[in-house]
Structures are given as C-alpha cells and as structure tokens.
C-alpha cells in the first residue's frame, strides 16, 4: 500500500490546494503545517479535534494521520453530554490546529493495519460507539472509488458536508489528499455556495440535492461538472429526475455506512437508476439472507444485507474485530444483474403487515410523486390485526390524508397503501439529512 495521503508526498505536484471560504492552503503548506503538528503529537495514544468545516480541521486530521495517532472528529455542534461521552469513551486528548516551526521531517509511514480514525456512530440503543477504521481500509475504499468514479488528480471536488462522517471526511477530504484532486469546501452546502464554486465533482446528501433542485438557476450552474454524487440516505426519485433535467446528468448514488465505508456504487461511465445504488465496488462482496440467516438467491427478494471485504472496520473501541460477513442492519433487494436497491433499516424500514413484507422506501417514493408532497417518511406502527400498519408522515400543502392514501393505492398493491397519514410541518432530520424515524414513532 502506498502512503495513505499519497498526494501530499508527490514532489511533482504540491500545488493543488484545499480551501474553505476563508482560507486557501496549497498542498505543500498543508504538508508543512501538518508535519510540524505531527511532531508535537507523535506518540500520543489518541487525539480528538472539534471538526469544524475548515482548513484548520483538515490540518489537525492530516497531522494525526502523518504521526500515526488515531484521531476522533467531534461534531462541532455536539451538546455537552455527547461531547463528554466521546472524549471520555475514547480517552482522546482534544487538540487544535496551531502554527509550529518549519522544516519538520515528514514522519515515516505508519503500519497500514494501524488505526487511523475513530468515528462515533449512533446505533438503535445506547450512546454512540466508536468505530475504528484502519489505514488499510481507508486506502482500499478510496482506491476502489477512484476506479469506479474515474477520480483523478485532474479533478476539483466541491462539497459542504460535515467533517465528522465518512461522506464529508473520508471521501471528501482524505480522498483528495490520497488521489491528488483539489478540494473546495463551501462551509455550508447551500445551492448558492455550490453554484458559485467551480468543480468537476460535487458531493451531497439528498437534502442538499433537493434544495439545489428547488433553485433551478443555481442547479444549472453545475452543468459543467462531470460527476454529481449522492449518498448517506436514499435519494427520492423525483429529486433524481430533477437533477437529470436541470444539470444535464443523472446523479451517481452509492451505499455505505461508518463500519463498512462505501461498498456499493453506480459507475461514472455506467448506468444510473433512480432508487438503486449500483454494484459492489472492487474488493467488496455482498449477499442477502433471510430472517434465519440463510442466503437468498432469488433476484428481487427482500433480505438482510451483509457485506465483507477490504473496507470493513476493525470493530468498535475495546471490542473484537468482526469476522466473516458483516451484518449491516439494512434490508435490500439485488436484481438479476447485480444492481442493489436499499429498502432501509431492518428496524424501521421493513414493515411486516398482514403477512406481507413492505419496504418503506417504495411507499415513500410513491407519495413523493404527488405534486403537493415535499417530504415523506413511512414507518410501521402497531396494529391489533395486521401486526403493523403502514403509517406515513408527510409534509404537503393542499392534500388531505384521504387524497394521499388514494394516491398510493392507485400506484401500488393494495397492501402497500398507508392506513394512516400524519401531516407535519417538517420531518426531523440529523446533520446528514437522514430522517429520524425513531422520533416520528
């Protein structure tokens, strides 16, 4: 394996820059600043950084990776309890970017199997857990995505995503530092910021793309780009179609999670399908199993998604490394051609109603086709006869509960129609734009 941050060590091109709205830092200056800080923190067990969307955060994370010290990104908006939990659980020392002396030697490359990042991720129960990601896993994922997305040093990546998740940090920062592309972080992922920042690749979550499509003038400014990537949550089909119309290209969707990194994606030079996330990337295998854990081979069958391969994490802090197939907790279908559709979380998006298994995403897509509907989330709620009933939470103007139930009934099988529709002003979402279905329940 080459150096994890290979582009930083390429003497032939250290001119590529990383920048935020306030600061532009050529790569040779980033290497200089990070090497100085690396010399100060070398030998520490673990460090943490308040992961603001700035070049300063990139300097600290780069320094820790150069020094071989695992780094924990802390959400800048974390409340006192969350921040205390992350720091106490990890035992990491919180540090900040600072100017140090010059002419520091670049440290030797650490062991590729050494831990690089500890990313805290929330499960269905208990406080967030620290997922340990090795240097080897990060490199394997970025190299595979470089192949799948035809990502090269000639690209300029633009995004405004948080720097404490896989999407914004691993793909959005470490990707350019490994591959050599330029990085422009917009601070916030607004339509105006994206439109004002020229690039060849843009990363966003569905909420970002939905807002961009609601601003057609700004959306059309992205037409010169060669790749628009959406992830971290399912992209509604109407947004997919609007992106294709306004920007001149369909988005590339991909699937992954903190524990596995990105494992499935559409290809830069291949087909893009609304509601589907493509094929496994090089080095990754996937399969579906039934409730008892037996493999499912029938194309189109809904099952529990499992993955294995080079991109998997090393386990949670103080827990053993997972062996064999990793249970994602998501349910999916795989077509005869290998294309994956993520139905959603097994705990919230697979609804068992009257003996049927219904994917919440299919019902949500049908609701979003209604011209009055802006947002929709579907869950299963207890029902004395059906076990679970399909309940929809919808943001809409000018549509009634009866209208929306009839709309779905006209487009899907009868057992897939909502039994209840709750009209809301907004859906609860987290920092990555994912709907918090637990709060709805």
pLDDT tens-place string over residues 12-55: 555 578 999 999 999 989 999 999 999 999 999 999 999 999 99
Q: How confident is the model at residue 260 (pLDDT cuts 50, 70, 90)?
A: very high
363 and 418 Cβ atoms separated by less than 8 Å:
yes
H helical segments located in 68-183: 80-90, 135-148, 175-179
- This prediction has a pTM of 0.85
C-alpha span between 399 and 376 (Å, rounded): 13
Domains of the chain: 6-343 (3.40.50.12780), 348-440 (3.30.300.30)
**What integer pLDDT is reported at residue 15 of this predicted model?**
58
**What integer pLDDT is reported at residue 102 of this predicted model?**
64
Cα dihedral: 145, 147, 148, 149 (round 10): 80
Mean pLDDT to the nearest integer, 133-159: 97
206-213 and 237-247 helices, crossing angle to 10°: 50
Average pLDDT, the chain: 91
β-pair type (279-280, 24-26): unpaired
Mean pLDDT to the nearest integer, 300-327: 93
Q: How many residues does the chain have?
A: 441
Read off the DSSP letter of residue 105.
P
Q: Percent of the chain beyond pLDDT 70?
A: 96
C-alpha span between 417 and 411 (Å, rounded): 9
- Does 99 have pLDDT greater than 80? no
| Residues paired with 428 in a beta bridge | none
Q: How confident is the model at residue 284 (pLDDT cuts 50, 70, 90)?
A: very high
């Amino acid at each position: 394996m080459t150096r994890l941050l290979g582009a930083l060590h390429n003497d032939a091109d250290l001119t590529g820059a990383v920048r935020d709205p306030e600061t532009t830092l050529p790569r040779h200056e980033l290497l200089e600043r990070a090497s100085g800080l690396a010399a100060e923190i070398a030998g520490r067990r673990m460090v943490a950084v308040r992961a603001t969307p700035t070049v300063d955060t990139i300097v600290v994370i780069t320094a820790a990776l150069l020094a071989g010290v695992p780094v924990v990104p802390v959400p800048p908006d974390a409340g006192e309890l969350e921040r205390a939990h992350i720091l106490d659980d990890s035992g990491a020392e919180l540090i900040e970017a600072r100017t140090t002396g010059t002419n520091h030697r670049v440290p030797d490359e650490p062991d590729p199997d050494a831990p690089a990042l500890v990313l805290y991720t929330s499960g269905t129960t208990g406080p967030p857990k620290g997922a340990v990601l090795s240097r080897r896993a990060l490199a394997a994922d970025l190299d595979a995505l470089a192949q799948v997305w035809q990502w090269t040093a000639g690209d300029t990546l633009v995004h405004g995503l948080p720097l404490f998740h896989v999407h914004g940090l691993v793909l959005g920062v470490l990707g350019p530092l490994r591959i050599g592309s330029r990085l422009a972080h917009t601070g916030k992922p607004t339509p105006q910021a994206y439109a004002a920042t020229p690039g060849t690749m843009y990363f966003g979550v569905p909420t970002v793309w939905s807002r961009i499509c609601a601003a057609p003038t700004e959306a059309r400014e992205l037409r010169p780009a060669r790749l628009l990537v959406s992830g971290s949550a399912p992209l509604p089909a109407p947004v997919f179609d609007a992106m294709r119309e306004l920007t001149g290209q369909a988005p590339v969707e991909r699937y992954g999670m903190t524990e596995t990194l990105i494992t499935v994606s559409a290809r830069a030079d291949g087909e893009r399908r609304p509601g589907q996330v493509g094929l496994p990337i090089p080095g990754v295998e996937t399969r579906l199993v039934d409730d008892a854990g037996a493999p499912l081979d029938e194309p189109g069958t809904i099952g529990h998604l499992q993955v294995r391969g080079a991109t998997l994490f090393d386990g949670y802090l103080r827990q053993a490394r997972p062996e064999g197939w990793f249970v994602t907790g998501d349910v999916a279908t795989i077509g005869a051609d290998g294309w994956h559709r993520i139905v959603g979380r097994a705990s919230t998006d697979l609804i068992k109603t009257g003996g049927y298994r219904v994917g919440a995403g299919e019902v949500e897509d049908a609701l979003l086709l209604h011209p009055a509907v802006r947002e929709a989330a579907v869950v299963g709620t207890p029902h004395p006869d059906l076990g679970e009933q399909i309940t929809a939470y919808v943001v809409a103007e000018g549509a009634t509960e009866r209208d929306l139930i009839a709309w779905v009934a006209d487009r899907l099988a009868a057992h897939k129609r909502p039994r209840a529709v709750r009209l809301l002003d907004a859906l609860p979402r987290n920092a990555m734009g994912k709907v918090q279905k637990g709060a709805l329940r």
